[in-house]
Amino acid sequence: MSDATPSSPLAQPFPDMPPIAGVTIRTARARYKAWDRCDLTFAELAPGTSVAGVLTQSKCPSPEVEWCRRALVMGEARALVVNAGNSNAFTGNRGRAAVEAIAARTAAQLGCRPSDVFVASTGVIGVPLPIGKAEAGLDAAFAAEPVGWRDAADAIATTDTFAKGASATAVVDGRTITIAAIIKGSGMIAPDMATMLGFIFTDAAVAPGYLQAALSAANERSFSCITVDGDTSTSDTVLAFATGAAGNAPIGSDEDAGADAFRAALADVCRQLALLVVRDGEGASKLIEITVEGAESDRSAHRIAMSIANSPLVKTAIAGEDANWGRVVMAVGKAGEPAERDRLSIRFGATQVARDGLAVEGYDEAPVAAHLKGQEIEIGVDLGLGDGGARVWTCDLTHGYISINADYRS
C-alpha cells in the first residue's frame, strides 16, 4: 500500500486496537516488489494457541492455501507468516518449496513443528515466491522490534488504499476477553467461504473445534456475504488464533460460560472487517447494501442477493446515481431461484419504487435521487414467496476499477 495511492472515498480511520496477550508481531522488507515498504509479516503465537480457518474454494488454490488446509487439522499454531506482493499461486513445485522453506525456517526459530506455522501470500499470480527473499525477510523479521496492528495491516496490503482493522471485547467466564483483527482486500472479491487475507487474534481460551465452528458461522454472515467484482481469489484465507492468555475456562461447546458472548463478538469483528473490504473495493465510490426478503429459503435469498450485487448493470447504475430498478428485476430473474414477477417488490432506500410486479404509480423520485447521491445505498427486494431472507454488501463499478486492474502488474 503506497502513501501516494489516494484513499477510497469510503475509507474508515484505523481504529485504536488493544494488544492481544500471547501475540507478538514483527514486520520486515522482503522486497517482493519494487517498493519501499514492509511486505513480510511475522506473528509469533504463544504455545498452546488454537487455530481455525476458512479457505478459498477455488479449484486452483495457492500452495499456501493447501498448506494451511492440512495444518488446520492439527488445531494448533505457533506462528503466522504473510507475504505481500506475490501470491505464489500457479507456481507448481517451486511454489510448494517456498512454503515449505518458510515453515521450516520459522519452526527452527521457534522450536516448533513446521505444521504449527501458517503461511499466506497475496499479489500477482504465476510468479514463484523467491525463497532467498523470503528467508532473508524472515531473518530480518526475527530480529526486528515488535510492531502494532496498524503496521501489520499496512504490511499485508497490496492494492488496498487504507489499512483495515477491527476489535471487540466480551465477558467470558467472568473475564474480559479481547478480539483484534486485520484484513486486506479490495479486488478479486467474491468468496465462497472467506475472503482475501484476514487474521483474527483473541486472548480467549477456545478449543480448536469450537473456534472453527464459531468462525464458520461468523463467516456465513460476513465474508461470504460480500462481493466487489464476482471473482474468487486463488489465495483467500481467514485464520483465527486463540492464545488462551485471558485465563477463562476453555470454551468447547455452546453450553460453556460465555460461549454466546464470544460468538457474538467474533461475528461482530468479522462483519466489521467484511464491510471495510467492500468500502475499499477497487474504484468504489458507494457502499451498497442489498436486502432480500420473502424468498423460499435463506439460501435462495442469498443467491438472489448475490446475483444483484454482482450485476455490472446494477453496479454501474448505482455509480451513475440512476434508480434503474429494471436492472434489479433482471438480476432477480437470472439468479435461477424461485421468483414470481407479479409478487416482486423493490425499494431504493426507504422509497418503494415497484410493487407486485409494477412500478408504484406516482412515486416521488426526489427522495430516491437524494438517496443515490449519498455514499451508502440500500436496495431492498421482497419476493413475496416465503420467509427466506439475506443481506449482502457490494460497491459500485466505476472507471477506477478498470484503471487499477489494467495496470496491476506494472
Does 311 count as an annotated binding residue? no
The label of the residue with cell 417488490 reads: 345
| CA dist 81 → 120, 141, 160, 195 (Å) | 6, 10, 19, 17
Structure-block grid coordinates of residue 7: 484513499
Does 93 count as an annotated binding residue? no
The alpha-carbon radius of gyration of the chain (Å, integer) is 22
Does 410 count as an annotated binding residue? yes
Contact 308, 397 (CB under 8 A): no
Structure-block grid coordinates of residue 320: 451513475
| CA dist 272 → 23, 198, 221, 394, 409 (Å) | 21, 12, 11, 14, 30
Q: Which of 12, 381, 394 is nearest to 191 (CA)?
A: 394
Q: Which of 6, 3, 10 is nearest to 277 (CA)?
A: 10
Does 237 count as an annotated binding residue? no
The question of whether 159 is a catalytic residue gets the answer no
The dihedral formed by the CA atoms of 19, 279, 368 and 360, expressed in degrees to the nearest 10: -100
Query: Other C-beta atoms within 10 Å of 37: how many?
Result: 16
Does 405 count as an annotated binding residue? yes
The label of the residue with cell 495491516 reads: 153
Does 88 count as an annotated binding residue? no
In order, the DSSP letters of 271-287 are: HHHHHHHHHT-TT---E
Residue 136 DSSP code:
H
SS percent in the chain: helix, strand, coil, step 5: 35, 25, 40
Catalytic residue (one of 91, 106, 195, 351) = 195
Collapsing DSSP to helix, strand or coil, 121 comes out as strand
Structure-block grid coordinates of residue 66: 493447501
Contact 18, 167 (CB under 8 A): yes
Dist CA 199 CA 80 (whole Å)? 9
Query: Other C-beta atoms within 10 Å of 111: how many?
Result: 9
In residues, how long is the chain?
Answer: 410
Q: Which of 208, 214, 219 is nearest to 183 (CA)?
A: 219
Dist CA 331 CA 328 (whole Å)? 5
Return the active site residues: 195
**Binding region for substrate:** 158, 184, 195, 282, 405, 410
**Binding region:** 158, 184, 195, 282, 405, 410
